[in-house]
Amino acid sequence: MAVDEKLQTVRHSCAHVMAEAILKLYPGTKIAIGPAIDNGFYYDFDFPKDTKFTETDFPAVEKEMRRIIAGNHDFVRKEVSKDEALKIFADQDYKIELINDLPSDATITTYEQDGYLDLCRGPHVANTKEINGQAFKLDKIAGAYWRGDSNRPMLTRVYALCFAKPNDLKDYLTMLAEAEKRDHRKLGVEMDLFHLDPEDPGQIFWHPNGWTVYTTMQDYMRKMVRRDGYQEVNTPAIMPRTLWERSGHWGHYQQNMFITESEKRLFAIKPMNCPGALEIFKSRQRSYKDLPLRLAEFGHDVRNEPSGTLHGVMRVRGFVQDDAHILCTEEQIGPEVAKFCKLLKAVYHDFGFDDLVVKFSTMPEDHVGDLETWERAEKALSDACHEAGLDYEIQPGEGAFYGPKLEFKLYDCLGREWQCGTIQVDYQLPSSERLDATYIGSDNQKHHPVMLHRAILGSFERFLGILIENFAGAFPTWLAFEQVAVVPVSSEFDDYAKQVNETLLAADIRSNVYLEDENMKAKIKQISMEHRTPYILVVGEKEKAEGSVCVRYRFSSKKPQETMKVDDFVKYVQDKVNTHFIGI
C-alpha cells in the first residue's frame, strides 16, 4: 500500500474514533458521513436541539478520542444483509437513508471498535494503536446540508487534522499560521488593494494599488501572447439564448449563468468566451491557410456561484480570464499544444513558479458528442503531450463537457497546490451539430476546425490572490504597485526629493515622494508595512550635493543600503523590471 493510501486509511479510522467520542459525550446525536480528506477528515453530525456544539468543546472530544485510541481496540469488519443493516441503524436516520439507497444486491459492511458500530465500506487500520494520539487535532466547524441539498437538514461538520507523526502535524500547523498571515483578504485591506462589498457578493472593487498590479499583469500577458502569434479580440458581455443553446451551454451550464430578458427574448451574461470567439471565426470565409488562428481575449465573465462558496478574490462571480481560442486542423493539435506549453512555462517562470504538475482530464459523465469523437480528442491530446515532452497524471471523468483537457498545477512558497492553466481539445463546438464553423481545405471542400480552449493564469482575480499570498504582499519589483518611495530626511530637502521622483516617473518607474511632516523613521516604517515597497530612497544634504540617493532595500537584512547616482539607480530598476526579476 502506498504511503498516502495508508495515511488516508488512518485518517478515516480516526474519523470513526471521533464519531464514537462525540456519541459518548453527546447522547442522541445522529451521525451522517465521515470521509478522509486532504490533511485529515471530517464527520457530519446532527446534534440534539438542546446541544450547542462549538470549538470550545474540542478539548473534551480530543481527550475522549485519545482514551479510545489508548484502549488498543480492533476494527472488526462484518458483512450484513440490508434487513440487518436497517435493524442495526434503526435509530440513525441518515444511515437508514444511505442503506435504502443501496442496490438490493449490494455488499453492506459495518466496522466496529470499542462497541461503536458504523456503516462503512472501509478499509480501516487493524487496531486503534495504529492511530497516533498526538498526531491529530480537531480543526474547525462548518455547516453542511445533508447530501449537499439546501432543502435538506443543515448538519454540523466537524473538521480535523490528522497525520502519521506529531511533527507532521506541527509542521502543518506552522504552515497554516504562516498562511493566515499571508491571507490575501487580510493583506488586501492592509495594503489598500481592494475591498469586497457584502451587498454585491463575488464582485471585486479594485483600489488604485490593486488595480496597478492587475493592469501590470494584464499588460504583461498582452505582450506575451502578441509575441506568440495571437490576435486580440473582444466579444459582447450579453448574448442570446439561441447561441447558448447551440453551443450546449444552456443545457449543460445554465445553473451557473445569469439570465436576463429584453423585448421578450432571453439573454445570458457570458460565463465564458468560447462561443463569441467562434462567431468571429465564422464572420467570413476561412481557408486552411488561415490556420492555426489564435484569438486571445481578456474577456470579463460572470458565473452564478453559490454565495457560500465565494472566497475573497480566489472564488468570485465576476472575473477576467487570460483566455484564448486556437482554431486549427487536427494535424496542428500537437504543435499548438507544444507551443502553448512552452509559453505557459515561460509565463509561470516570470511569476516565480517553476514547479509544475500536469493533470490529464478525460470524458465526464455529463458530456456532448459521441464516444468515437471523444476517443479521437483524447488521443490527439495525449499525442500532443508526448510531443511537448509532458508527463501527466490521469484524472478520469474530470474533462469539460465538450472535450478532454490538461490542467497545470503550480506550487507556492508554502507548498500549496493551485490549478491555474488549462488547455482543452474541442471537436464539438465547431461541429455542424453545434456552431457549425467551417474552413475551405486544400481539397477545396468545407471542413470543421478543431478548437483549442486555453488559459495560462486562469482568472486574473484568482491569480493575483495567489501572488499576494505567495509573496506575502511583497511583490517583485516589476509587479509592485509602488516600486520606489522617495523620502527626504527633512523638509529642507523636499525639492530635491521631488526632482528625484520626477526623474523616476519620467523613466516609467512607479514612484511616490513622501513629504509629510512625520519623523523620517516613522515614514519609512509606514511605507514598509503598508506598501512593502522594494526600494526606499532617502535623500539629504549629501545626496543633493552628489546627485545621488541612499537606497534602502525592502529586505535590508539580506542586502545593505548603498548610495547610487540617480541615473545608475534608474538603470538598476529598469533592468529588474525588464527581466521580470523575482528578487530585488
Digit-coded pLDDT (tens) for 329-355: 999 998 999 999 999 999 999 999 998
Give the model's confidence band at 1: pLDDT under 50 very low, under 70 low, under 90 confident, else very high. Answer: very low
Amino acid at 76: V
- For 43, the grid coordinates are 464527520
Q: H-helix or E-strand containing 7?
A: helix 3-25
Q: Quickly list H helices, 71-159.
A: 82-88, 93-100
Radius of gyration of the chain (CA): 29
| Spatial distance between the Cα atoms of 9 and 543, rounded to a whole number of angstroms | 66
Give the model's confidence band at 3: pLDDT under 50 very low, under 70 low, under 90 confident, else very high. Answer: very low
Give the model's confidence band at 389: pLDDT under 50 very low, under 70 low, under 90 confident, else very high. Answer: confident
Digit-coded pLDDT (tens) for 134-148: 999 999 999 999 998
Neighbours of 183 (CB within 10 A): 14
The pLDDT mean for the chain works out to 94
Residues with active-site annotation: 274, 303, 321, 323, 325, 405, 453
Digit-coded pLDDT (tens) for 541-574: 999 999 999 999 997 666 789 999 999 999 999 9
Digit-coded pLDDT (tens) for 206-220: 999 999 999 999 999
Question: Which residue from 186, 255, 520, 476 is spatially nearest to 352, judged by alpha carbons?
Answer: 476
Across 289-320, b (16+ Cβ under 10 Å) vs e yields eebbbbbbbbbebbbbbeeeebebbbbbbbbb
Full-model pTM? 0.85
Question: Which residue from 259, 269, 195, 285 is spatially nearest to 235, judged by alpha carbons?
Answer: 269
The span from the first CA to the last CA of the chain, in angstroms, equals: 46
42-46, 324-328, 370-374, 541-545: least confidently modelled range: 370-374
Q: Are strands 40-46 and 30-31 parallel, antiparallel or unpaired?
A: antiparallel
- Is the pLDDT at 435 greater than 70? The verdict is yes
Q: H-helix or E-strand containing 100?
A: helix 93-100
